[in-house]
Amino acid sequence: MDADVVISGGGPTGLLLAAELRLGGVRVVVLERRAEPDPVPRANGLVGQVVTVLYRRGLYRALARHDRGPRALVQRWFTGALGDRPRPVRGFSHAGFRLDLRRLRDANPLHVLAVPQRRMEQVFERHARRLGADVRRGHTLAGLAQDTDGVTVEVDGPDGRYRLRAAYLVGCDGSHSAVRKAAGIGFPGETSREVVIRMAHVVLPRAALTPAGALRAADGAVYRPYQLHRTAHGAFSFASFIPGVHVLSTHEWDAQAPGEQVPMSVAEARTSLSRVVGADVPVAEPPTDGRPWILRRLTDRNNRLADPYRAGRVFVVGDAAHVFAGFGGSNLNLGLQDAVNLAWKLALVARGRAPDALLDTYQSERMPQAWQALDRTREQAELMAPGDEVTTRREAYAARLREPGFLREVADAVAGLDLPYPMGPGPALLGRMSPDLRLTHGGRRIRLASLQHGARPLLLDLTGDPALAAAAAPWRDRVDLVRATPRDPGTPPALLIRPDGYVAWVGPAPDDPTGLPEALTAWFGPPVTAS
């Protein structure tokens, strides 16, 4: 084998997957057709649970503190602070409603990290290379063939075509995935052309902006940045991540648009925004002195999920596994969590430490999350549509948002916390991301996240009872036993935490490890027997 795993696609998802696999101890080759990280502005940040996942890998600081310019101000606008760990956001835009999350206080679950996709790629690639991943830019998958022992990959490189042999292949190559198509994996779903979406980097005149950065239209209406606004004629949002330049997005229902062969202009963006707002808004072209900007038009609403996520030794992750169009921006958040979920399982199986059946849990855990995200996207699209009936529904929805219980439900859904992994009956923590517990370990005060940088399974023992260590001893080659003292009230006596941060077992009593061997076997393979 040339590698244990070949990854086709070196965007943020593929690069994070490569790093996670290297933490699991397997050889990885990443094939990426682009010679450099994509300069086209795409995602502008991460939302929800994925932010805490990256924090637990020690990547949060590099992503959050990449500059002190407008994007750092955006981060402070969301959180009120820019520190070394995520803090819940004060407010968030959902389906055109501004969620006042300060009302949730300590129960606020939502984190946001304002970081451009290009920066994510740079940080993840540096992280993956530092760990030993072989990232090959300018190399493209041209074909594949799999058998019972592995996958043969045809690659077009700068010096011609060559072959790679690997135990597994993962497609992180986007919604038009060549891996998915070649492996015969279906991509059922729906495509609708009822909405015209225009996106552009533009300059909004200073006279149209308030001192706080809000947009004041000609009719006097004021619109906040970083928020989706619904009007009688459509929807729009705007935000600034480059000094003097705004990202503008407009959505128009049942609108006419030139054919795809006609390039979009700034004048078209201005006309669209003026129609949506109902009053003229001056819009100018941004400077072209090397700063990235793009004009593009999307006329499709694509909602599709791969079925299955796995075909033999081939897997699909991220946009290759699911695409959602509309509102909510869940694609990248979901894809990065796909990568973290699959990596440790694939590493254990590739190293012969766990049975192949463990890999089936990738689909059983991640596909329901994708369906849930699809439902949330559809709900937001329905709430943003024009019409008096929708307006009446929005009024009822706004009334419900004033109820703390419903506000918490919505915040959990946006954060991706509303659907735990299916691990059977048990305590509330089972199947959910472990809290970032405050601990005393080795005489030092630490947080649990500091123990999770290496993506190792953890058996967190907060009792010190030898029965727990004895029960876990046959897995000491795969699972780290950590003894600590809790500093948070109500902390369970023991937790088995998977490399992706999810709780796989909760200790029922200080001296009773009932169920622990079964959980260790289910997630990390059979025990090592003394010879």
Q: pLDDT by residue (tens digit) across 216-233?
A: 888 888 999 888 999 989
Region 7-11 average pLDDT: 97
Q: What is the CA radius of gyration of the chain?
A: 24
Q: pLDDT by residue (tens digit) across 353-391?
A: 999 999 999 999 999 999 999 998 888 888 998 899 999
pTM of this structure: 0.92
CB atoms within 10 A of CB 449: 21
Range in 62-66, 227-231, 298-302, 525-529 with the lowest mean pLDDT: 298-302
The residue whose two tokens read 């959980």 is 519
- Give me the pLDDT at residue 152, please: 98
Q: pLDDT by residue (tens digit) across 159-201?
A: 999 999 999 999 999 999 999 999 999 999 987 767 888 888 8
Please provide residue 79's backbone torsions phi and psi, each rounded to the nearest 5 degrees: -110, -20
Q: Are 477 and 457 in contact (CB under 8 A)?
A: no
Is it true that the peptide bond before 308 is cis, omega within 30 degrees of 0? yes
Residues composing the chain: 531
Q: Are 225 and 247 in contact (CB under 8 A)?
A: no
Helix (H, G, I), strand (E, B) or coil at 73: helix
How far apart CA 130 and CA 12 sit, in angstroms, is: 16
How far apart CA 116 and CA 120 sit, in angstroms, is: 7
Residue 422's nearest CA partner among 375, 499, 360, 379 is 360
How far apart CA 471 and CA 512 sit, in angstroms, is: 10
Residue 256's nearest CA partner among 268, 265, 247 is 268
Q: Are 3 and 29 in contact (CB under 8 A)?
A: yes
Q: pLDDT by residue (tens digit) across 467-525?
A: 889 999 999 999 999 999 999 888 999 999 999 999 999 997 656 677 999 999 999 99
Helix (H, G, I), strand (E, B) or coil at 202: strand
CB atoms within 10 A of CB 295: 18
How far apart CA 38 and CA 280 sit, in angstroms, is: 34
Q: Which two tokens stand for residue 128?
A: 């993956």
For residue 189, list its beta bridge partners.
304
How is 456-469 classified by DSSP, letter by letter? Answer: --EEEESS--HHHH
- Give me the pLDDT at residue 295, please: 63
The helix (run of H) or strand (run of E) holding residue 155 is strand 151-157
- Give me the pLDDT at residue 288, please: 65
- Give me the pLDDT at residue 531, please: 47
Distance of CA 52 to the CA centre of its chain: 10
